[in-house]
Structure 1
């Protein structure tokens, strides 16, 4: 996740972007000025229909509206799918709505290019603040793009990418605001925005759908804030427009941050003509490797497919007798020193996967620090086969590790820290005062899970140091680097582990599709894509990832939108500002070949 002061050429994808400064964002969110109705807004009134710019009429030759029917979409009763590419429209720049007609994001020819690549739609992002800046210019800009789309047989999916009074797509930015969730006036302004759009385009079939809000992240713990606002936005549209399909995104985060573990992401709104959306960038360490806007950033995320990378599908079942450990860190104060498990054979035929951990158990006072883990695989004869993990655990690398404690008194937890110094670098992990002898505390990284072969040999090496280490019992604490080894997990999909391939993508996608099946409603994937490195670097397999994704989208009758049309990192054209420039030829070749 990146800050808001990146060089202009960096063009982040959705969900991880920068925005205009705090002052402008919040002042506008709290004091919206609709230029054509100054007197009404000063009094807190909603503008009347008479104050709006008259819409342009659609030609009589346009086709019918896209509509939900069961789990799919139809146009005039015939099945259809929206196959879109995202136009980000530089929403993350400091654009002023008054300047939209001079926007350099695209021109009419880009609709023609999208059609030539095989797309039939464009997901068209906009910032709610642009409407605040100038309703007339905003509507004229939409009119222009609707006309271009219509002329090239493309449909638009209008996407409120950032709402009036809200910005959470880059949590590291100083422009972050969640005011929309607590201020009814801001919620009303967003409803009025959609009401104005709906009134203008209710008879325009070149618009396929209204995507009511991109990636909602609420400040409550349950996502109810988005459920309530979603229905308010639905009602606002339907007060003017009975025709258009609505796109309802799920809950992308709660408590003011991304992530909604344990919460049902999807929910129904009270409307029969709705499609329910999710964004899909799995596995994230692959699709976002080297991405500048991701906090860290993620470095080498491997290739696709990769049978040596396995991912858990359920609770992991450990083989304790197969654990491979280094000697323990001694008591007292010690400087950085290397620790080595030696080369250890893995003899249990049921072993499937393993992962490195650092742990403290047995009751410890003081601070133990860990760094620079390497895992190596050897054949039965001792021949070195590969370095599986070479984890520097520097400042960026430690971000992928998570802390945990098993057992013990929850009222007396140990201390965990990502340190600013390490063994020959700027990061390490530490555990302090894990005094409860009945607890086990540690750091883990599920991204380092790897496939093992029974009969082969494995070795873990790394560095540890101690500061004032002592025991809280009669025996010394056990402080080690080690490999936990796992077997099949009864009842879990694929026995608890699945290789990084199309089956894994299908497994992750199925978690969302269950909602559509249970409720007999259509679903969509309005964002998916991967970084340019997946196409440019050897053995990364970006073309295969896109091929498999398009196949799964077709197999599940899902409408979709590829992220994005142009951008330095994930674009079909690799330019971040101005109009599209250098083509991502490998990606475009896949789309031409695979888009049905």
Structure 2
């Protein structure tokens, strides 16, 4: 694992896709199949990001044992992706209780990481561990900086050389990068998520209030493009100043955006990230943001082409 620098490990992530609404969701969610891994590899993606809601499958009391059957499901997904030569980013996702009450759940969060880190310690270095998806709420920067250092120390006990991915507070917002304080560790990749402008990317989103008023928002003017450039330039400046590689772990636009605007936004964000040596993972594979239609068992080809050059 020491043969590659953090920057090289980040470049290896390359072009990624999130398998959202699968291992991070309840019943009725996307059911992963072998065919999905084959399709992702054949399309030209390098990486699968696996969001996992470990907190929904673990005991409430120490040692916070994770359900064995659920662990087997995660193993199957990790190994299925890696068997096809894909990198895997494995994270802790949707730990809502931790976001609301860090002090009350910090010990459980660390207990989960003790188990995850030990279980996957023998996997090849194409497995990357991401400490927590979108820290926010009561996990303000000061509190998150302290907790991430504790979690990283636990991961390092079992995985001294593995690439670890760490995001900013305020839900991995680029503007929160200046508040991020990282331990002295040369195997870290910093992740940000990008959904700006939110009124465009989340117009009509059913899980958020009052988003119907944004319906009809288009994207693609010179000012629209300049705003993306400004945001990613700010992230790139921070990365250069701190000598940290950047992974855009999520970006995408909801399906209710008009298709031409959606394609323009996705392609522009993707290409601008690549120009700044940022790896990326689109959100996501097969939800309402998805590039794949599970009902037709087929790619949404225009959106795929916005991500993967033919």
Q: Could you tell me the TM-score, scaled by structure 1's length? A: 0.47
Render the CA deviation track for 1:13-62: whole Å, top value 9, x for unaligned: xxxxxxxxxxxxxxxxxxxxxxxxxxxxxxxxxxxxxxxxxxxxxxxxxx
Instruction: Quickly say closer, same or farther: Cα 1:94–1:106, change in 2 above 3 A.
Output: closer
For residue 516 of structure 1, give the secondary structure of its aligned residue in structure 2: helix
Alignment partner of 1:500 is 2:219: no
State the match for 1:281 in structure 2. 195
Render the CA deviation track for 1:418-453: whole Å, top value 9, x for unaligned: xxxxxxxxxxxxxxxxxxxxxxxxxxxxxxxxxxxx
For residue 280 of structure 2, give the secondary structure of its aligned residue in structure 1: strand
Q: Which runs of 5+ in 2 are unaligned?
A: 60-65
Instruction: Quickly say closer, same or farther: Cα 1:277–1:120, change in 2 above 3 A.
Output: same
State the match for 1:156 in structure 2. 88
State the match for 1:250 in structure 2. 168
* Cα distance, 1:246 vs structure 2: 0.8
Render the CA deviation track for 1:392-411: whole Å, top value 9, x for unaligned: xxxxxxxxxxxxxxxxxxxx
Quote the Cα distance in structure 2 between the aligned partners of 1:83 and 1:264.
Answer: 26
The answer as to whether partners of 2:23 and 2:50 remain within 8 angstroms in 1 is no
The answer as to whether partners of 1:527 and 1:561 remain within 8 angstroms in 2 is yes
- Residue from 82, 100, 103 that aligns with 1:182: 103
Instruction: Quickly say closer, same or farther: Cα 1:104–1:510, change in 2 above 3 A.
Output: closer
Render the CA deviation track for 1:469-494: whole Å, top value 9, x for unaligned: xxxxxxxxxxxxxxxxxxxxxxxxxx
The answer as to whether partners of 1:87 and 1:565 remain within 8 angstroms in 2 is yes
State the match for 1:513 in structure 2. 236
- The alignment covers a number of residue pairs equal to 303
The answer as to whether partners of 1:202 and 1:241 remain within 8 angstroms in 2 is yes
The answer as to whether partners of 1:202 and 1:242 remain within 8 angstroms in 2 is no
Instruction: Quickly say closer, same or farther: Cα 1:80–1:155, change in 2 above 3 A.
Output: closer
For residue 217 of structure 1, give the secondary structure of its aligned residue in structure 2: coil
* Cα distance, 1:159 vs structure 2: 1.3
State the match for 2:63 in structure 1. none
Q: How does 1:129-528 map to 2 (within 5 A)?
A: 129-132=55-58, 134-163=66-95, 165-166=97-98, 178-179=100-101, 181-183=102-104, 186-205=105-124, 207-219=126-138, 222-252=140-170, 264-297=178-211, 298-307=213-222, 499-501=223-225, 503-528=226-251
Q: How does 1:66-145 map to 2 (within 5 A)?
A: 67-69=4-6, 72-74=7-9, 80-90=12-22, 93-95=25-27, 104-132=30-58, 134-145=66-77
The answer as to whether partners of 2:13 and 2:47 remain within 8 angstroms in 1 is no
Quote the Cα distance in structure 1 between the aligned partners of 2:41 and 2:215.
Answer: 34
State the match for 1:355 in structure 2. none
State the match for 2:301 in structure 1. 585
Alignment partner of 1:544 is 2:271: no
Q: Higher strand fraction: Structure 1 or Structure 2?
A: 1
The answer as to whether partners of 1:252 and 1:259 remain within 8 angstroms in 2 is yes
Render the CA deviation track for 1:101-121: whole Å, top value 9, x for unaligned: x97521111111111222111
Render the CA deviation track for 1:211-249: whole Å, top value 9, x for unaligned: 1001111427x5211111101110110111112111111
State the match for 1:327 in structure 2. none
* Cα distance, 1:301 vs structure 2: 4.8
* Cα distance, 1:510 vs structure 2: 1.9
Quote the Cα distance in structure 2 between the aligned partners of 1:232 and 1:219.
Answer: 17
State the match for 2:62 in structure 1. none
The answer as to whether partners of 2:248 and 2:278 remain within 8 angstroms in 1 is yes
Render the CA deviation track for 1:358-396: whole Å, top value 9, x for unaligned: xxxxxxxxxxxxxxxxxxxxxxxxxxxxxxxxxxxxxxx
Quote the Cα distance in structure 2 between the aligned partners of 1:584 and 1:146.
Answer: 25
Instruction: Quickly say closer, same or farther: Cα 1:301–1:504, change in 2 above 3 A.
Output: farther
Q: Which runs of 5+ in 1 are unaligned?
A: 1-63, 96-101, 168-177, 308-498
The answer as to whether partners of 2:232 and 2:273 remain within 8 angstroms in 1 is no
Superposition CA RMSD, Å: 2.9
* Cα distance, 1:65 vs structure 2: 7.5
Instruction: Quickly say closer, same or farther: Cα 1:91–1:74, change in 2 above 3 A.
Output: closer
Q: Higher helix fraction: Structure 1 or Structure 2?
A: 2
Quote the Cα distance in structure 1 between the aligned partners of 2:106 and 2:306.
Answer: 41
Quote the Cα distance in structure 2 between the aligned partners of 1:145 and 1:583.
Answer: 20
Quote the Cα distance in structure 1 between the aligned partners of 2:187 and 2:170.
Answer: 22
Q: How does 1:568-583 map to 2 (within 5 A)?
A: 569-574=288-293, 581=297, 583=299
